Structure 1
Amino acid sequence: MYRILATALLGAFSLGACAQPAPPAGGASPAAKPAAAGSAEQHARQALAQLVPGAQPDYIGDAPFAGFREVLLSGQVLYVSDDGRFLMQSQPFDIQARRPAASPGLMAFRRQALEGVPEQERIVFSPPNPKYTISVFTDVECGYCRRMHQEIAEYNRLGIAVEYLAFPRMGMGSDDFRDMVSVWCSADRKRALTQAKAGTRVPGKQCTSPVAMHYALGQRIGVTGTPAVFAQDGSQLGGYMPPQQMIQALERMSAEAGGAR
């Protein structure tokens, strides 16, 4: 779907609202609710269906800025104007918050999706009583993933628990994918992940692993590269941040959330 959408967008100059909306996807996400006739959500659905017939967004809701709907479609965060005419593909950056802009609705969608991954399917590096917990989609090849893991003890010392999910960025069937399956199938996953990220070859293993499921989940919620860091509220913090910068971002978010009550 991603490739089809990209091809369609390359050939489109603007969006109309003359096509019929695609049937909404099932599930409990906000996108499953029928859109009122003439509403901004219906215009967004019609516009997307005009570009990609049968398109079924995982999420549609208010954008974090006026005049647009925020859409999650095949892992891409898109913004469609309320009249269904214009589309933006790039997720804006919130300069004040210092993280990718996202609406409360999209954050809730991502939080719910991440909460569906049991702790036993993650590889967890945590201090005894963590103050903050982050979910990190990672692979064993990317340079910044390796750099982040080299500093895992400092994240933990600052009170940050790091819960890894697998995202083999080279795709299913790649050596990267097979290496991550071997890591998740190891008797000592933490040791195997640390060795793999240090460049040591992990002995090949096979089992019923969650790697493919993690990869699909990451694509669904908009992960396009690694590391992809999410806070507990579902907000995406971006990619690699040094430990001190990470704790400052988490403390700032916590203060903002406290002030909003």
Structure 2
Amino acid sequence: MKFKTVALASVAGLLGLAALTVGTLPASAQLPQEAAIRKSLGERLSSLPKIDEVNKAPVAGLFEVLIGTEVFYTDAEGAYLIRGEILDLKNKRNLTEERIAKLTAIDFDSLPLKDAVVWKTGSGKRRIAVFSDPNCGYCKRFEKELTGMKDVTVYTFLIPILGGDSPDKAKAIWCAKDSTAAYRNWMLEGTAPPRPLGDCATPIERNIELSRKHRVSGTPAIVFEDGVRVPGMLTADQLEKQLVASSKG
């Protein structure tokens, strides 16, 4: 696992605030610790996004604050908010990185693969799932990187989240006589899929709900068989390395 240099920074840049210290209001002693921290941070940072979870951090006196897939830390009073990583120097482990990996992991076998556009190379014995928007430039670049991969099956969940005509393109791709050819022709060659004739049921809404369930907020998002999830595009070399690592995992 990559071992990074710790960099603690104010969350001010993320939230448009002026300082790391967010006041000195005492958390109510009558509230449970988690509720007290939520209340305290909410009162001090009105622009703070919705807090999903508050848990004890691996360092005494600190608490972990989860907002989506981002991990922050705070004190017991909710008087400070820290954006950065906790490193276990003795065991040379990046505890924050490990936590994020656990939070973003997806059980591959639980994915509704019937709702995906599928294609493979060779034996197809190595599997990945990709959340993709038809108008996503990085998704198109990633699709090109995939063309040279060996023995891979790719399951693509269409999630038109970029606006514009993404929903129309996603529907046209799924409803095409050959959805795989329609998807790849569009992503690789820029050949627009034909407009669907009549009504055509699609899994697009289910795919969007699936992405929300797993907090997928950008495309591409790549899921490997061991549950590892990588946000963003990978080169062919990077993909091959992760495929090997995931097979060992």
Same fold (TM over 0.5): yes
Q: In 2, distance between residues paired with 1:70 and 1:105?
A: 15
Within the candidate set 92, 95, 103, 1:106 is matched to: 103
Task: Trace 1:97-176 onto structure 2 (pairs within 5 A).
Answer: 101-103=97-99, 105-107=102-104, 110-112=105-107, 115-127=109-121, 129-155=123-149, 157=150, 159-171=151-163, 174-176=164-166
Question: CA, structure 1 residues 165+11, in 2 after alignment: closer, same or farther (shift >3 Å)?
Answer: same
SS at match of 2:148: helix
After TM superposition, give the deviation of residue 249 of structure 1 in Å. 2.3
After TM superposition, give the deviation of residue 201 of structure 1 in Å. 1.5
Question: CA, structure 1 residues 215+160, in 2 after alignment: closer, same or farther (shift >3 Å)?
Answer: same
1:195 counterpart letter in structure 2: N
204-213 vs 176-185, which deviates more? 204-213
Q: Give the unaligned 5+ runs of structure 1.
A: 1-7, 21-35
1:160 counterpart letter in structure 2: V
Q: In 1, distance between residues paired with 2:65 and 2:147?
A: 37
Question: CA, structure 1 residues 187+130, in 2 after alignment: closer, same or farther (shift >3 Å)?
Answer: same
Q: In 1, distance between residues paired with 2:83 and 2:202?
A: 33
Q: Give the unaligned 5+ runs of structure 2.
A: 1-13, 87-91
Contact 1:62 1:105 in 2 (8 A): no
Contact 1:17 1:46 in 2 (8 A): no
Within the candidate set 180, 184, 190, 1:190 is matched to: 180
Contact 1:72 1:222 in 2 (8 A): no
Task: Trace 1:222-237 onto structure 2 (pairs within 5 A).
Answer: 222-237=215-230
After TM superposition, give the deviation of residue 88 of structure 1 in Å. 5.5
2:171 counterpart letter in structure 1: V
Whether 1:203 and 2:194 are equivalent positions in the alignment is yes
More helix per residue: 1 or 2?
Answer: 1
Q: In 2, distance between residues paired with 1:178 and 1:230?
A: 25
Within the candidate set 218, 221, 238, 1:245 is matched to: 238
Question: CA, structure 1 residues 90+119, in 2 after alignment: closer, same or farther (shift >3 Å)?
Answer: farther
Question: CA, structure 1 residues 77+43, in 2 after alignment: closer, same or farther (shift >3 Å)?
Answer: farther
2:224 counterpart letter in structure 1: A
Contact 1:123 1:163 in 2 (8 A): yes
SS at match of 1:101: helix
Contact 2:106 2:214 in 1 (8 A): no
Question: CA, structure 1 residues 47+125, in 2 after alignment: closer, same or farther (shift >3 Å)?
Answer: farther
183-192 vs 79-88, which deviates more? 79-88
SS at match of 1:151: helix
Question: CA, structure 1 residues 146+19, in 2 after alignment: closer, same or farther (shift >3 Å)?
Answer: farther
Contact 2:225 2:247 in 1 (8 A): no
TM (norm. structure 2) is 0.67
After TM superposition, give the deviation of residue 253 of structure 1 in Å. 4.5
Whether 1:221 and 2:214 are equivalent positions in the alignment is yes
TM (norm. structure 1) is 0.64
226-235 vs 8-17, which deviates more? 8-17
After TM superposition, give the deviation of residue 177 of structure 1 in Å. 1.6
Contact 1:69 1:80 in 2 (8 A): yes
After TM superposition, give the deviation of residue 77 of structure 1 in Å. 2.4
Identity of matched residues, %: 23
In the alignment, which residue of structure 2 is the partner of 1:178? 168
SS at match of 2:234: coil
Q: In 1, distance between residues paired with 2:238 and 2:49?
A: 42
After TM superposition, give the deviation of residue 146 of structure 1 in Å. 1.3
Contact 2:135 2:162 in 1 (8 A): no
Question: CA, structure 1 residues 253+194, in 2 after alignment: closer, same or farther (shift >3 Å)?
Answer: closer
